[in-house]
Amino acid sequence: MEYVSTRGEAPAVSAAQAILRGLAPDGGLYVPNQWPTLHLDLKTIGQQSYQDLAVEIFAAFLPDFTKAEIQAVVQAAYGSQWDTDKIVPIKDAGNNLYYLELFHGPTLAFKDIALQALPHLVMTAAKKEGLNKEIAILTATSGDTGTAAMAGFADVPGTKIAVLYPQVGVSDIQRQQMVSEPGKNTYVYGIEGNFDDAQQAVKGLLGDSNFATFLKEEDIQISSANSINIGRLVPQIVYYFYGYGQLVESGQIKPGEEIDVLVPTGNFGNMLAAYYASQIGLPVADFTVASNENHVLTELFQTGVYNKNRDFKVTNAPAMDILVSSNLERLLYFAGGQDADLIKKDMADLQSQGSYHLAEKTRAGLMKFSAGWTDQDQVEETIRKTFVASGYLIDPHTAVAVHQYQDDGHPTLLAATASPYKFPQTVLAALGEEVIGGEGGLTALAAATKTTIPDQVKNLFQRPIRHQTFIQAADIQRQIESALKTD
């Protein structure tokens, strides 16, 4: 198995090369040229540890990595930095609904699952490729990627990581996690504008020829921590199987029985991982894509038209505030029968006019997908209702998905993507409590709900502030270059 570009104009590469590059040189995304065959026994996967299951799935998608290399990555990624041995526990919500809790890692959001593994995948890949350069990670974040990427790369020798976050949209906890990040190789910049502006700035820099010359002179290899990197997708496939195994173990489903998957979606990485899982043997009947008020994807799945020509909304589920959902390209590639010319045309239309129409055959390949969106008031109402009905506290992103849930008879795995303690202000507002900013929000939430503040954020506001740089768009290149130059 090798990795090829969705746009068909780049040579096939090994998994190690795909991880190091992030994006393919023709602008496409790397996808497997065939689905690996796994011999996962759905009857017994629930008896395996998360780590053992991860080793099997990583090995299938990274055929050029040795078993020992994969074991080392998995061991480093899924150890004592998680607050539960299960890594992703399940909560039965009744009515055939099960929360797959993906937020038990160091930064309390699901991105830890991939970003605790990615640095080790990148460093192993570099070693395999004989690369001796320093590796720099440049990432735009709406809040969760930046915190999780820094937690993963902090003090990893041979790497530096720079994160750009937008002034508007990040929560108090996310901001504090970033500006107090202690890793000596981490650099954090606030920039004016929203997430798309931050993303635009990073893309602009990566496409700039002066910056390319700088990297060459300084002998630096740039890589990506965004979910376009297959090194982020592969780790996410694991938890869908692990969740399924838990349902079998507890007698909720029979081995082989179909389930539904419901995912709050932004850049489409999480949902894509569920689709990949289904391609290698996870029995999934329906995929439901839940969006917030930036509902480009709802429209796509309902009408076959992708149209990003609309206002960007800053919402109370900020990690899903996005108008260009990168990983969708990978789904469309497979749905349309691996037709790279078609993808190239659609992406050219997106570039030139901000929209494209799916071909009939691609729509036909998306029959198992449905979509819906949840507005900000519904998010708050869902948080409140869920808590009142069951005492279970959910975060705003999870609420976007919960609001879309309908019991169709299939057991449903719902991706619970963040801890409510990552967004205490929104959760307090939803519960009708006084909204308190900063650290006070944590204690107020604990008092109002009789739940406990997770250890991961308990002392967050005692950490010294290390990054206070706010920069103008015009100054980004100079700042990043000077950060990458320092020893």
SS3 284: strand
Residue 417 near residue 103 (C-beta atoms within 8 A)? yes
Indicate the residue among 120 and 422 with the shorter CB distance to ligand PLP: 422
Largest CA distance in the chain: 60
d(CA 191, CA 384): 33
Residue 238 near residue 53 (C-beta atoms within 8 A)? yes
In the complex, minimum distance from the CB of residue 412 to ligand PLP, in angstroms, rounded to a whole number: 17
In the complex, minimum distance from the CB of residue 326 to ligand PLP, in angstroms, rounded to a whole number: 9
In the complex, minimum distance from the CB of residue 181 to ligand PLP, in angstroms, rounded to a whole number: 17
In the complex, minimum distance from the CB of residue 209 to ligand PLP, in angstroms, rounded to a whole number: 30
Q: Which residues lie near ligand PLP (CB under 6 A)?
A: 109, 111, 144, 227, 264-271, 319-320, 397, 417-418
Tokens standing for residue 21: 């590059």
Q: What is the β-pairing status of strands 412-416 and 305-307?
A: unpaired
Residues 6+ apart with CB under 8 A from 14: 2, 3, 64
Indicate the residue among 61 and 275 with the shorter CB distance to ligand PLP: 275
Using CB atoms within 10 Å of the CB of residue 34, give its burial: 0 to 12 exposed, 13 to 18 middle, 19+ buried. Answer: exposed
d(CA 441, CA 470): 25
Indicate the residue among 183 and 269 with the shorter CB distance to ligand PLP: 269
In the complex, minimum distance from the CB of residue 268 to ligand PLP, in angstroms, rounded to a whole number: 5
Smallest Cα–Cα separation from 407: which of 253, 259, 264? Answer: 259
CA angle 327, 332, 333 (to 5 degrees): 95
In the complex, minimum distance from the CB of residue 206 to ligand PLP, in angstroms, rounded to a whole number: 19
In the complex, minimum distance from the CB of residue 9 to ligand PLP, in angstroms, rounded to a whole number: 26
Indicate the residue among 14 and 267 with the shorter CB distance to ligand PLP: 267
Residue 268 near residue 298 (C-beta atoms within 8 A)? no
Indicate the residue among 105 and 269 with the shorter CB distance to ligand PLP: 269
Residue 327 near residue 263 (C-beta atoms within 8 A)? no
Q: How far is CA 287 from the centre of its chain?
A: 17
Smallest Cα–Cα separation from 353: which of 307, 312, 294, 296? Answer: 307
Indicate the residue among 135 and 274 with the shorter CB distance to ligand PLP: 274
Indicate the residue among 297 and 484 with the shorter CB distance to ligand PLP: 297
In the complex, minimum distance from the CB of residue 278 to ligand PLP, in angstroms, rounded to a whole number: 16
Indicate the residue among 144 and 172 with the shorter CB distance to ligand PLP: 144
